[in-house]
Each structure stands twice: as structure tokens, then as C-alpha cells.
Amino acid sequence: MRRRDFFKTATLASAATLAAPHVVTAQATFTWRMTSAYGPRAAFYSVGPGSATDLIQRIQTMSSNRLRIQFFGAGELVPAFEGFDAASAGTVEMNYGNSYFWTGKSFAAQYFTAVPFGLNFQGMNGWLYDGGGMDLWRETYDRFNLVPIPCGNTGVQMTGWFRKPIESIADLRGLKMRIPGLAGRVYQQFGVDVRLLPGGEIFPALERGVIDAAEFVGPFLDRQLGLHRVAKNYYTTGWHETATVSEVAINKTAWNRLPNELKAIVENACAACNVVSEAWAQKNNAEALDDLVTNHQVVARPLPDSVVDELRKANDKVLEAGLTDPLVKKVHDSYFAYYAKYAKWTALSEGVYHAKVRPS
């Protein structure tokens, strides 16, 4: 009888459960705005694989539109270099750009985009993701109420475009050149008049003679700007930007409101774009360089060794001058301690390989 009572009770309970309405817990949704240091149609940065709009699409897809982001290219909501302050103040939730644009706010910021004569793409990722770089980056941006995340990389860049050949360090004196970051401070040591211009202003400035030389990214994006139409001397070594990181800087208050699963989605979408963008750059730069040399009479060659040697010495002095700031020294020491170990490894691995293999 007790067994019959038990089964009767269980059957009634099951029926009650099936009859009860299914309660669905509503998941919070968020609508953000992203500004950018680059124009709304800029290849690599704003459109295409690994770009800001690609990042947004990945976040929205993975979050089932729980996190929606509206994109504003440079000048559409704020000027190119004011997005950092807008995100810091909470006027927008995030800004896309490069940390070396903000070295006037913090000298340490440069290290998270590119350090002259520094780490390559693989090495930079190693330092950021597994060598303490991300923690230091967040510490650097914390006083600006921002959370930075790497979301792209150009790989090694070109030295830039010059109207006249550079045969010695003396040829730099008096040049007016568009160049950002620590490299600009290095060039200043040799009498270069350094200008920081948004991408869309570089070609007209070079065409009108406002500047004599310009650095942007690499063959594909430089060709898109038309720089080869007004300067034919295209130099390389990549000394100034051996691997250039793109970032999203997210307002910390907005970031802290996100549930953990949405934070994870943002971080993973950024990591995906970091890899995809660099792959895109490698393929398209190779094809564009061949076109520039073959069809547009561009002379592409490395800077003379004597010039590179002088630039390296000046760079050491510029970096040393920043070490009076305890945070800069902390970031610097971490970066170059990692660099020393990574350089030994690559010398014995990839270095040996590249020394044995010659392009046909």
C-alpha cells in the first residue's frame, strides 16, 4: 500500500510539473558605440577580415545579439584621435586604434603597439598573452578608466615613402615626415620635423609638399592611399614597427557591467581578429609590393646599414629617457626580459632556418 501511495504521489507531482508554465530567465542585452582612429572605409582597420567591423560582427554573432555595437569611423562622431578620451569619459563604450597614439598621455602606451627594433608578431603575442604584457597594459590604462584588448596586427611594416633617396643619416635632416610613436622621437634626434596625421590626410599632405616623407603601414594600404603616385623611394627594414598591434580600449565601467560570458566573447573575438588580420596583411602585402615595383616604377630597397645603425643608437637613448617613470620602467623591463629569451629561441629555430633557405 505504501508503494501504491508513493507511485500515486509521484505521478501527481510529475503531472503538476508538466502543467506548470516554463519560466525563461531573461538575459540582459547591451548596446554600445565604438569610435575609431581610422576612416569608416579604411581597409584592414575598418573593413575586411580582422577589421573593426569584422570584430563587431563576430561579437554580435557569438552573443546572439546580446551585445550590439554601432561603429563610427574617424570624424563620424569624434575626430580621429579623440576616441580614447571619449571612451575614457564614457561618452562611448569603446574606441579602436593603436596605443602609440596616446604616448602623450602615457609613455608606456607605446610598448603595447610596437617598439622600434622590438618583437615580431609571434613574439609580441607571446609577451602579451603569456608573458605578462596584458596585465601591464591594463595597469597602464587603469587610470584612464579603460580596459585594453589587442584585436589586430599588421605584422612588420615598411620604413616609408621618401621623395628623395636616403643614402646617409644626414639626408634625414630637415625632412618633414608623417610618423607616429617612438619612431617619431627617434627621427627628431636627426632633425626631422615629425608630423602625426590621420591616414586620410597623408596623401594630400605628401602631394602638396606639406610633408616630404610618410610612413603608414605596408604595400597594400600604402598603395590604397596612393602614396606611390607622389614618392617613388620605398624603404624597408621595419625597424620602427616590427609588429603593430591594434587595440580596442573599453570604458571600464561599461566593461564591468558585462556578464562574464559576454566578456569572454569580446576577448575571444578580439583574439580571432588579431590572427586573421595579420594573415590578411601577409597575403595582400606580398601581392601589392610586386605590383608597385612591376607596374608603378617604385624602387623598394632597405635603408643603408649605416642609417639603421644610427637609428638604433638613437632609439636606445629615447627608450632610456623614459625610464625615470616607474611604470614605464616596469613595462620596459618586462618587454625586454621577454625579448632576450625570445631572441635566443628564434636564433636557434627560425633564424637557422631562414639562414639556410633563400628565395628563388
For the chain, the residue count is: 360
Give the three-class secondary structure for 22. Answer: coil
Largest Cα span, the chain: 105
Amino acid identity of residue 321, one-letter, is A
> What are the structural domains, with CATH classification, of the chain?
30-152+244-276 (3.40.190.170), 160-242+284-321 (3.40.190.10)
Q: What is the C-alpha separation between 113 and 243, in angstroms, rounded?
A: 8
Give the three-class secondary structure for 235. Answer: strand
β-partners of residue 229 are none
pLDDT of res. 181: 85
Percent of the chain with pLDDT over 90: 86
Helical residues (DSSP H) of the chain, grouped into ranges: 2-19, 52-62, 83-89, 121-130, 133-142, 181-188, 199-208, 219-225, 252-257, 260-295, 305-321, 326-348, 350-356
- 251-272 pLDDT per residue, tens: 999 999 999 999 999 999 999 9
Q: What is the C-alpha separation between 80 and 59, in angstroms, rounded?
A: 23
Question: Which region, left, alpha or beta, applies to residue 302 given φ > 0 means left and ψ of -120 to 50 means alpha?
Answer: beta
Q: Which three cell numbers stand for residue 278?
A: 595579420
- 49-100 pLDDT per residue, tens: 999 999 999 999 999 999 999 999 999 999 999 999 999 999 999 999 999 9
Q: What is the dihedral of CA 307, 308, 309, 313, to 10 degrees?
A: 100
Work out the average pLDDT over 320-325. Answer: 95
Q: What is the C-alpha separation between 16 and 160, in angstroms, rounded?
A: 74
With 0-12 CB in 10 A as exposed, 13-18 as middle and 19+ as buried, what is 40? middle
Give the three-class secondary structure for 94. Answer: strand
Work out the average pLDDT over 227-232. Answer: 96
Work out the average pLDDT over 26-54. Answer: 95
Instruction: Mean pLDDT check: name the lowest of 159-168, 265-274, 341-350.
Output: 341-350
Residue 269, C-beta contacts closer than 8 angstroms, at least 6 positions apart:
55, 58, 59, 62, 151
Instruction: Mean pLDDT check: name the lowest of 7-11, 117-121, 335-339.
Output: 7-11
Give the three-class secondary structure for 102. Answer: helix
